[in-house]
Structure 1
Amino acid sequence: MNFEEIGKNLGLPDSIIAILPTIVDVLLALLILVIGFIVAGAVGSQLSKTLQKRKVDKSLAGFLASLLRWLLIAATVIIVLGRFGFETTSLVALLGSAGIAIGLALQGNLSHFASGVMILLFRPFKVDDYIASSGYEGTVSEIGLFTTTLVTLDNETVIIANSAVIGGPLVNYTTRGSRRAHVEVGVAYGSKVPQVLEILTAAAKRCDAVLSEPEPFTAFTGLGDSSINFTILAHCKPGEYAALLHQVRTAAYEELDKAGIEIPFPQVVVHKAAND
């Protein structure tokens, strides 16, 4: 494009004609920047909507959309700098080196982040699920990109790094809809086993926390040093485990007491040998 001819045809002074190519480059660069920002915003917004339609967590969808938006903006800026004669290859290499350095410095946090992305994508649990992880159990109140927050039965807030959640054993009690409790009960020797089985099962059935399906069941589990032992197996909602233990133990004690069946305490019988 002959800017000198264009300038003369427009009647521009020589001083303006001399800088006309620079003015055009600046205007074109501004146009590219504006278009780049608009496209980046539109693409990021569309990606966020698409991910949310596919049930991807809002936090992850927002992060990925923001990441794509800034990558497009960075590409636009590099293109503009290239038009002004900057060596973009060196700039890209510099940015890459900076990215590696930052990645090494934040290695632990990046591990938490990667684990958070895995949780949000593969969904081994979701908010309001009752889980056990890293020695804690409770209801999931928040799933972040770096940490997962639980609220325990003691109303304690526990924040666990996502890498610890993914890297260790994870139990999700909610996926099956119920959790089974084992309540151990010992009665005195001489008690009638069928009677005890019937009493303990009936005691469990009258507890509010015990689910009717699957039905509670009592098993004769062994012969102890001071007692014959039974185990009540009963299901409850995941968040009512402690309530079930309390209710079933209380009901079992009351019903056994009514039936006159003794719950023994540990004892040792010592026989003294006669002296010759």
Structure 2
Amino acid sequence: MLGFFLEAETLILPDSVQKAQWKQIVERFTSLDAETFLRDFTGQVIWVALKIAVAFAIYAAGRWIINRLVHLMDASFDRRQVDKSLRSFLRSLVKGAAYTILLLIIVQLLGFNTTSLVALLAASGFGIGMALSGTLQNFAGGIMVMFMHPYRIGDYIEAQGQAGTVKEIRLFSTVVTTTDNKRIYIPNSSISNAIVNNYSSETMRRVEWKVSLAYGDDVAVAKRTMLAMLESDKRVLHTPDAPADPFVALSELADSAIVVVARTWTLNGDYWDLFFDMNERFYNELPQQGLHFPFPQLDVHLDK
């Protein structure tokens, strides 16, 4: 119906030819029947409205299918006991790819040429890749984390100057929750190339205390008392799996005190409880054996 609007050529033509073409267009437009125009226009509006309604219906159905697919994936991961870190990464990857396919289907339904759209995206991919080089590096870093497994969900790690429990490994970042409940997003590109201190990867950890005592205190009494306290705690490991038994020794002759070091092995989950409890016991029980905790002091000698 409106095809006559496309008959005007875009090439540069002589003025006489252009005037003749415009005259023909005006005559054809003025000769239109109002009833026919309204009927055709109404039909086009109804057709477009139907296509939009179908597109919304396809989007709703596609979204339900994607959520169902993700649910089935989670159930399959549970049966196969797939690692939580890999599970989170694959879920994000599948959802992203599925929604991209759904978008292409809706665009094609609305009458757009998806081949041209894909070609346009491919042609602009280089520029987009250069602009989003950091994002692509984060994606590659996420893949490296998935395959190398320097940490998993639930591990307590320290990396890039941040420390906390890994809550989620996403396509582009790792989500870490600190001990004071702050959420930190660390880019995967930086964390995959950084030194990661994983405190949760081993079942046992070594606990160490350094106790400062006054010069003149009996070191043998201090060693015997501290060792007895460690031996009496059930959280201290005495199994053959422990790399060493509890150990106490004179570590340092400092400026204002002697330093006695105590070391033992415990389960990862008991580390902090044992550390804090034994600190309190050292403070309360060592003075009962005639031992003293000195203050920093400086002797000044004046020559008259």
* TM-score interval, normalised by the smaller of the two chains: 0.5 to 0.7
Match of 1:150 among 164, 176, 183: 176
**Distance of 2:255 and 2:146 partners within structure 1:** 51
Per the alignment, residue 146 of structure 2 pairs with 120
How do 1:218-257 residues align onto structure 2 when only pairs under 5 Å count? Answer: 218-238=248-268, 241-257=271-287
Given residue 249 of structure 1, which amino acid in structure 2 is its aligned partner? Answer: N
Change in Cα spacing, 1:237 to 1:140, as seen in structure 2 (3 Å) is farther
| Structure of larger gyration radius | 2
**Distance of 1:159 and 1:209 partners within structure 2:** 35
**Distance of 1:74 and 1:147 partners within structure 2:** 25
How large is the RMSD of aligned CA atoms in angstroms? 4.0
1:111 corresponds to 2:141:
no
Q: CA deviation at 1:250?
A: 1.1
1:177 corresponds to 2:203:
yes
**Distance of 1:209 and 1:150 partners within structure 2:** 28
Change in Cα spacing, 1:207 to 1:101, as seen in structure 2 (3 Å) is farther
Q: CA deviation at 1:161?
A: 2.0
**Distance of 1:95 and 1:175 partners within structure 2:** 43
Per the alignment, residue 58 of structure 1 pairs with 87
Q: CA deviation at 1:239?
A: 5.3
Give me the identity figure in percent: 33
Q: Note if contact 1:140-1:148 (Cα within 8 Å) is conserved in structure 2.
A: yes
Q: Give the TM-score normalised by structure 1.
A: 0.66
Change in Cα spacing, 1:60 to 1:123, as seen in structure 2 (3 Å) is same
Change in Cα spacing, 1:140 to 1:67, as seen in structure 2 (3 Å) is closer
Change in Cα spacing, 1:198 to 1:96, as seen in structure 2 (3 Å) is same
Q: Give the TM-score normalised by structure 2.
A: 0.60
Q: Note if contact 1:204-1:251 (Cα within 8 Å) is conserved in structure 2.
A: no
Change in Cα spacing, 1:72 to 1:193, as seen in structure 2 (3 Å) is same
- In the alignment of these two chains, the number of paired residues is 230
Match of 2:214 among 185, 188, 213: 188
Tell which deviates more after alignment, 136-145 or 212-221.
212-221
Q: Secondary structure at the match of 1:181?
A: strand
Q: Deviations over 1:94-142 (max 9, x none)?
A: 3322222222222222222221222123222111112111222222222
Q: Note if contact 1:139-1:239 (Cα within 8 Å) is conserved in structure 2.
A: no
Q: Note if contact 1:187-1:264 (Cα within 8 Å) is conserved in structure 2.
A: yes
Change in Cα spacing, 1:144 to 1:74, as seen in structure 2 (3 Å) is closer
Change in Cα spacing, 1:148 to 1:72, as seen in structure 2 (3 Å) is closer
**Distance of 1:187 and 1:231 partners within structure 2:** 11
**Distance of 1:185 and 1:176 partners within structure 2:** 27
Change in Cα spacing, 1:131 to 1:100, as seen in structure 2 (3 Å) is same
Q: Deviations over 1:185-211 (max 9, x none)?
A: 111122222221121222334557655
**Distance of 1:208 and 1:163 partners within structure 2:** 43
Q: CA deviation at 1:224?
A: 1.1
The unaligned stretches of length 5 or more in structure 1 are: 1-40, 81-85
**Distance of 1:136 and 1:170 partners within structure 2:** 10
Q: Secondary structure at the match of 1:261?
A: coil
Given residue 249 of structure 2, which amino acid in structure 1 is its aligned partner? Answer: A
Q: CA deviation at 1:62?
A: 3.2
Q: CA deviation at 1:219?
A: 2.4
Q: CA deviation at 1:229?
A: 0.9
Given residue 114 of structure 1, which amino acid in structure 2 is its aligned partner? Answer: A
